[in-house]
Amino acid sequence: MAGDPHYVREYRRLVRGLLKRSASEADAMEKAVGGAFEKVGAAQAKLVKELCPQGGFHLIDVGCGSGRLAHALRAETRVSYTGFDVVPDLVAYAEKICDRPDWRFDTISELALPVENAQADIIMFMSVFTHLKPDEIKTYLAEAFRVLKPGGRIVASYIDPDATAHKHFSLPALMQVITRAAGRNVMLTRTPRVTLSQWMEEAGFTVERAITDKSLGQHALIAAKSTAARA
């Protein structure tokens, strides 16, 4: 709808088009999250398990899409999972393929997480900040800080304009405008690593490290909420 924020309007339109044009639902669902469903899902799941090596943990996957990460984790009994996304078709598909009635999948349409304070051990924003404006990213970082338990971690991927490996994400500006207007693309934003680090620190996090290999498809920053932080 016209009054919806750009990420709701554009992503819902993109997915409607993909469902119409693609050979199958699975094909559309894979394209909607950027492809490499199994490979990137496995890499994301590996990272989550490395960050939470022992015991049960609550993972919140913001922008869960069609379940790339959730599907890779579906056999993990240690995980209590919550997936949020702005596109109902993606959320429904993720829920269907995971077949985990004990997990939560919900559609949201604002930059607010419908979760009480200090509930999550880990919050993933994979390929989400890459579609948001700076103020929107900052709003989500504040939300993530509120919802994380002290000692919890956030993982956020980004496209770094300074990284040569990310040049292929560039589309000439005019093509961006045309493909977005046609509903075949969404806003794509690049954020230098130092800038995202600074926003994370301003939100209260301590940035621990960056992942800059190719496994996740994009670079990512891992940041922690101090154990001394107020829940």
What residue ranges bind ligand SAM (CB under 6 A)?
Answer: 7, 11, 33-34, 62-65, 68, 84-87, 90, 111, 126-128, 131
Of 8, 128, 10, whose CA–CA distance to 63 is shortest? 128
Beginning with the edge strand found earlier in the chain, give each strand of the sheet holding 206-211 in spatial order. 104-107, 79-85, 57-62, 120-125, 148-158, 219-224, 206-211
Nearer to ligand SAM among residue 34 and residue 204 (C-beta): 34
Report the nearest approach of ligand SAM to the CB of residue 230 (Å). 25
What CA–CA distance (Å, rounded) separates 217 from 48?
Answer: 16
Give the whole-angstrom CA distance, residue 61 versus residue 148: 12
68 or 225: CB nearest ligand SAM: 68
Q: How far is the CB of 228 from ligand SAM (least distance, A)?
A: 29
Q: Are 159 and 169 in contact (CB under 8 A)?
A: yes
Nearer to ligand SAM, 59 or 126 (CB): 126
Shortest distance, position 41 Cβ to ligand SAM, whole Å: 7
- Minimal distance, residue 227 CB to ligand SAM, in Å: 27
Helical ranges in the chain per DSSP H = 6-21, 25-32, 37-51, 68-73, 88-98, 134-147, 173-181, 193-202
The CB-of-149 to ligand SAM minimum distance in angstroms stands at 21
Indicate the residue among 16 and 229 with the shorter CB distance to ligand SAM. Answer: 16
**CB-based contact 160:193 (threshold 8 Å):** yes
Nearer to ligand SAM, 82 or 127 (CB): 127
